[in-house]
């Protein structure tokens, strides 16, 4: 099955500013701003305290939709905004496109009037507090692509009215809130800290983690002014158990980058050790397990086929790009990025070598990839290393299929659009492939059964580490 690489979709601010019903609002928007700004009997803080404030969330994806859910549970009425009409239509019908957001909740909340999804950005004027949860990807040169943030800020500016709170949640480099977003918003003629309020508060979502969800993950907040910080803490204090305030938006922006750079650097370290251990004939997983018994001074990180998700593969490059403005090269961060982005290539090379040892060439080989999602037991495919591995295998002439119990059909992605569906796992299917490659270690997989019926298993996650039978069929990668 052939896949194709696709370019990042063209995203223009016109698409937002000319949203449905925009013509109707355009003539009356100044009057609406004046009415809502001058005739409200309560200020924003009073509305937050008595739960009459209306929330707004822009970007109804893996960050935005869970935020909507928790805001509604806290008693806020919420408007959700997205440029994807299919998402808006599904939510309006009470359907979910994210596994851990149940359709029953969407249906009940929409029917009760507590939540409404819309593609009409002129309705931003109805929201008191607006959270921006849009993507911040990298371009083809691994530099920040802030088109979503910029266009969203322009859409807000066109509808901005007094006493609105704007919160940027999208991960970005230090300075974005005050250097990019603030000047756009002030084009409205309103002044920050006086007429409207602006903060940065980074999302800290961890999909698939049953221990931590939005409410028990501390929320970092940094406002442009002390009043901006205070109002944001008041708003989010209803849904987060703990709000941590910092002095500036830049400090909050760098906090999020530090968290993910810390993980990126340590994962790069163990990935490099994995490649060395493969040459030395040492099991790196055994070494990490033994080292983790030390009760101080060591924190275990684990190697894999590469980094996935929207944060860790991307965030370090945001800081390294910004650092160049200060004539500073973040060599440590850049090296970690190079190692982690090279891992899918390493996995494919190891797969080719293992096939060669069995007299099979990679070109024309049948390979089954287990796991299209980027991490265990989720349906999120963003930046999944498994997808990159599939792409590399296809380009080298292999016939590739995939299985993922959480991804029944390959979703349209920013760079890849494979016309594939998850194949069924049967004894006959497993035996028909020259290689079965474990890219994501989902709990649903019976690894002993898979190894028993496969000819060759490439294990990138140590999913087969505890198996004792058929070890000759397993190759670590």
Q: List, by residue number, the catalytic residues.
A: 311
Q: Which residue, chain included where needed, has tokens 């359709």?
A: 103
First to last CA, the chain: 24
- The conformational region for residue 238 under phi > 0 = left, psi -120 to 50 = alpha, else beta, is alpha
Q: Kindly list the distances between the CA atom of residue 409 and the CA atoms of 372, 402, 406, 412, 438, in Å, as whole numbers in the listed order.
A: 10, 10, 9, 9, 18
In our burial notation (b when 16+ CB lie closer than 10 A, e otherwise), range 79-118 reads bbbbbeeebbebbeeeebbbbbbeeeebeebbeeebbbbb
Q: Which residue, chain included where needed, has tokens 């998402």?
A: 87
Report the distance separating Cα 435 and Cα 359, nearest Å. 12
DSSP assignment string, 231-286: HHHHHHTTT-S-EEE-SSHHHHHHHHHHHHHHHHHHHHHHHHHHHHHHHHT--HHH
Longest dimension (CA), the chain: 79
CB of 438 within 8 A of CB of 448? no
Neighbours of 8 (CB within 10 A): 14
Give the tokens for residue 380. Answer: 């999120």
Report the distance separating Cα 287 and Cα 269, nearest Å. 13
User: Which helix (H) or strand (E) is 452 found in, with range?
Assistant: helix 447-453
Pick the closest to residue 437 from 361, 392, 370, 391 (CA basis): 370
Report the distance separating Cα 171 and Cα 174, nearest Å. 10
């Amino acid at each position: 099955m052939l896949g194709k690489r696709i370019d990042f979709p063209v995203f223009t601010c016109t698409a937002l500013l000319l949203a449905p019903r925009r013509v109707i609002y355009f003539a009356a928007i100044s009057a609406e701003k004046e009415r809502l700004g001058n005739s409200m009997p309560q200020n924003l803080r009073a509305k937050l305290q008595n739960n009459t404030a209306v929330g707004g969330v822009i970007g109804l994806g893996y960050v935005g939709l869970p935020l909507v859910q928790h805001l509604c549970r806290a008693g806020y009425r919420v408007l959700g905004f997205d440029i994807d009409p299919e998402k808006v239509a599904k939510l309006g019908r009470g359907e979910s496109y994210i596994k851990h957001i149940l359709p029953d909740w969407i249906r009940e909340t929409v029917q009760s009037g507590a939540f409404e999804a819309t593609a009409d950005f002129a309705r931003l004027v109805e929201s008191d507090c607006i959270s921006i949860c849009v993507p911040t990807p990298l371009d083809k040169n691994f530099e920040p692509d802030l088109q979503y943030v910029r266009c969203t800020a322009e859409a807000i500016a066109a509808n901005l009215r007094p006493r609105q709170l704007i919160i940027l949640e999208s991960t970005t480099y230090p300075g974005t809130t005050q250097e990019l977003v603030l000047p756009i918003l002030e084009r409205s003629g309103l002044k920050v800290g006086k007429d409207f309020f602006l903060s940065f508060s980074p999302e800290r979502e961890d999909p698939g983690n049953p221990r931590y969800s939005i409410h028990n993950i501390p929320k970092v907040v940094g406002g442009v002014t002390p009043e901006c910080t205070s109002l944001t803490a008041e708003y989010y204090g209803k849904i987060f158990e703990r709000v941590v305030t910092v002095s500036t938006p830049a400090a909050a922006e760098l906090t999020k980058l530090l968290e993910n750079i810390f993980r990126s650097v340590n994962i790069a370290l163990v990935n490099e050790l994995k490649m060395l251990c493969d040459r030395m004939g040492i099991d790196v997983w055994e070494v990490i397990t033994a080292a983790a018994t030390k009760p101080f001074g060591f924190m275990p990180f684990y190697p894999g086929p590469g980094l996935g998700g929207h944060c860790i593969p991307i965030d370090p490059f945001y800081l390294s790009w910004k650092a160049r403005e200060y004539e500073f090269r973040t060599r440590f961060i850049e090296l970690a990025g190079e190692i982690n982005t090279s891992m899918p290539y390493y996995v494919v090379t190891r797969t080719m070598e293992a096939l060669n040892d069995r007299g099979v060439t990679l070109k024309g080989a049948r390979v089954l990839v287990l796991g299209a999602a980027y991490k265990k037991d989720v349906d999120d495919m963003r930046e999944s290393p498994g997808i990159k591995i599939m792409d590399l295998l296809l380009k080298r002439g292999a016939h590739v299929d995939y299985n993922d119990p959480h991804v029944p059909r390959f979703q349209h992605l920013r760079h890849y659009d494979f016309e594939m569906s998850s194949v069924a796992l049967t004894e006959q299917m497993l035996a028909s492939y020259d290689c079965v490659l474990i890219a994501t270690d989902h709990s649903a997989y019976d690894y002993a059964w898979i190894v028993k019926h496969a000819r060759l298993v490439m294990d990138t996650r140590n999913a087969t580490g505890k198996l004792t039978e058929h070890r000759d069929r397993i190759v670590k990668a």
